[in-house]
Amino acid sequence: MASGVTYLDYQSTTPCDPAVVEAMAPWWSDAFANPASRLHRPGLTAAAVVQQSRTAIAGALGLTAEELIFCSGASEANNLAIKGVAEAELRRGGTRRRLICLATEHRAVLDPMRYLAGHGFELVCLAPQANGLIDLQQLEAALSPETLLVSVMAANNEIGVLQPLEAIGQLCRQQQVLFHCDGAQAVGHLPLQPLTLGIDLLSFSGHKLYGPKGIGALAIAPGVDLAPQQHGGSQERGLRAGTLPVPLIVGLAKAVQLAEADRQARGLRLAGLRDALWQRCQALGGIQRNGAEAPCLPHNLNISIEGVEGTALHQALRRSLAVSSGSACAAGEPSHVLQALGRSRLEAAASVRFSLGRSSSGADVERAGDVLEQTLKTLRRA
Task: Point out the residues that are catalytic.
Answer: 329
What SS3 state is found at 68? strand
Quote the distance between the C-alpha of residue 246 and its chain's center. 23
Cα 274 to Cα 136, 261, 306, 312: the distances in Å are 28, 21, 20, 24
Q: Radius of gyration (Cα) for the chain, nearest Å?
A: 21
The whole-angstrom separation of Cα 203 and Cα 76 is 9
The whole-angstrom separation of Cα 47 and Cα 50 is 5
Quote the distance between the C-alpha of residue 124 and its chain's center. 21
CB atoms within 10 A of CB 225: 14
Query: Is the separation of the CB atoms in 309 and 174 below 8 Å?
Result: no
- Identify the bridge partners of residue 296 per DSSP, sorted by sequence position: 161
The whole-angstrom separation of Cα 8 and Cα 179 is 32
CB atoms within 10 A of CB 232: 9
191 upstream amide cis, omega within 30 of 0: no
Q: What is the DSSP letter of 184?
A: T
Query: Is the separation of the CB atoms in 212 and 252 below 8 Å?
Result: yes
